Amino acid sequence: MSNTSLAPLPSSDRTDVTARLRDALLGASFSADGLLDLLGAPAYAALARSETVPALRATRGDSPLEALVRLFLLQQPVPHARVAHVLPVQDCLESGWLTRVDGDEVAAVVDVRPYGGPGGEDWFIVSDLGCAVGGAGGIGSHDEGVVLGVGGASTTLAGITVRGPFASALDLGTGSGIQALHAAQHATRVSATDLNPRALHITALTLALSGAPAADLREGSLFEPVGDETFDLIVSNPPFVISPGARLTYRDGGMGGDDLCRTLVQEAGDRLNEGGYAQFLANWQHVEGEDWQDRLRSWVPRGCDAWIVQREVQDVTQYAELWLRDAGDHYADPVEYQARYDAWLDEFEARKVKAVGFGWITLRRSDAELPSVVLEEWPHSVEQPLGDTVRAHFERVDYLREHDDAALLAAHFRLVGEVVQEQVGLPGAEDPEHVVLRQHRGMRRATKVDTVGAGFAGVCDGTLSAGRILDAIAQLVGEDPVLLRDRTPAQIRVLVEQGFIEPAAH
């Protein structure tokens, strides 16, 4: 891969300079909170849409922070004198963070964007100039090997990732290093791989400038750089876009259709330690005459439980238009745009693809005799971060696998916090048509229950066993307790599986 058209990167060996630069940036409040205070919410939000005009207007003053925002975020040259008392300018010039332009001005060589960690950490994400934010607005560069910063996909994956402590973690296809940065907070050893050597260099800069430990950086495709090594956590935001050819390295997988995502998922099982997690964002094809769930089920490797959530589905025209806009092709010559659009539709037609799904794939190595593979469509809003929710899902899978109906009736449960009950029916009716339990945390699920299920969930406080609660309900409603005990475990199982009630110690 040639990166000759891209600018040289700062040295990753000058850790002394990187440490001084970090101190200088934080000293001037160049942080996520500092930016929000300076720019205001509208201009700050506009940056996430790749719109810089509001931020340029908000940084017309002469404060040190305004100068740093213009320099590192907005890629504007700044007079040397304006930052000489804020930054170690000479060191930054010598180590390659800055370059001289137009005599007395300096300019940044890379984009440096403040990023708030989950525990309030002040981190910085390094990326190529003009590439801080991806998405449908376009990134402003088609150079091969370009390295993007943090976009919506990156933060989504970070939010759903199960956090340790783990002995080892692998960030596959690290890009600018955001997943490796998160993993460094809870994994003893972090490895990061990428096909693009420029991405590995930028990851090293991101970790160093954020004050995080260095990672074991390895160049190569998919799992090739790590051989037969195994890990407790594998995360990947791969180049999952299904496109005709691999025109843009940062997003196009280079394999036909959804083969890259399939290969990644199938090969992850052998790289996981027992109890380890592998978590991916992915696209998958909806093929004529094939159920998408069957397609995804065939990807799950032996020995792994899986939870696959389809968050969105786009027909092939919507999908093609999204990624043509992402590449800025809608600004191109109309004839060229039409030719590229045609190429996407030709590719989908040849593969009999009618739509493309996007979502999350989580594997957990259990080596269970009967693995649990849950596939669902969930386009509704959720509450990030979901890492604890993901872990809890697999803990419930283990619990239900180990407890038959008799064991469930003997167990004690409690209603999970922030679950509310809604009764739906005609106004004035004596009894509701149905009762809905709704979560206000995590996946924010809702499930329909009958009056027995609602009554059961309502009194679950860990005091009585499930069987004793059902006996009391049977007496209240005048039903045979044996029959009620016989038919209710299936409903209890659903309430546990979806996280409305949880086992209680007693």
* pLDDT at residue number 78: 97
Which has the closest alpha carbon to 364: 275, 497, 263, 247? Answer: 275
* pLDDT at residue number 505: 83
Long-range pairs, 465-472, Cβ under 8 A, ≥24: 465/409, 465/410, 465/411, 465/412, 466/408, 466/409, 466/410, 466/411, 466/412, 466/413, 466/492, 467/409, 467/410, 470/409
- Rounded to an integer, what is the distance from CA 217 to the centroid of its chain? 21
Whole-number CA gyration radius for the chain: 26
Task: Assess contact for 363 and 272: CB atoms under 8 A.
Answer: yes
- Calpha distance 270→260 (Å, rounded): 17
Task: Assess contact for 236 and 171: CB atoms under 8 A.
Answer: yes
* pLDDT at residue number 3: 43
Q: Give 265-283 pLDDT, tens digit per residue.
A: 999 999 999 999 999 999 9
Burial of residue 29 (number of CB atoms within 10 Å: 0-12, 13-18, 19+): middle
Q: Give 217-257 pLDDT, tens digit per residue.
A: 999 999 999 999 999 999 999 988 888 876 566 676 667 78
* pLDDT at residue number 47: 87
Q: Dihedral sign, CA of 282, 146, 106, 204?
A: positive
Long-range pairs, 102-107, Cβ under 8 A, ≥24: 102/77, 104/79, 104/80, 105/77, 105/78, 105/79, 105/80, 106/71, 106/77, 106/78, 106/79, 106/80, 107/71, 107/75, 107/76, 107/77, 107/78
Containing H/E element for 179?
A: helix 178-183
* pLDDT at residue number 140: 45
Residues paired with residue 124 on neighbouring β-strands, in sequence order = 114
Q: Which residues have C-beta within 8 Å of that of residue 369, sequence separation ≥ 6?
A: none
At 410, list the tokens: 């003997």
Which residues in the chain come in under a pLDDT of 70? 1-5, 132-144, 246-250, 252-254
* pLDDT at residue number 2: 39
From the CB of residue 463, how many other CB atoms can be counted at a distance below 10 Å?
Answer: 12
Sheet holding 501-503, edge to edge: 461-465, 412-415, 501-503
* pLDDT at residue number 172: 98
Containing H/E element for 15?
A: helix 15-27
At 217, list the tokens: 């950086």
* pLDDT at residue number 153: 92
* pLDDT at residue number 40: 96
Amino acid occupying residue 238: P
Q: Which residues have C-beta within 8 Å of that of residue 439, sequence separation ≥ 6?
A: 416, 418, 419, 445, 446, 499, 500
- Calpha distance 362→364 (Å, rounded): 7
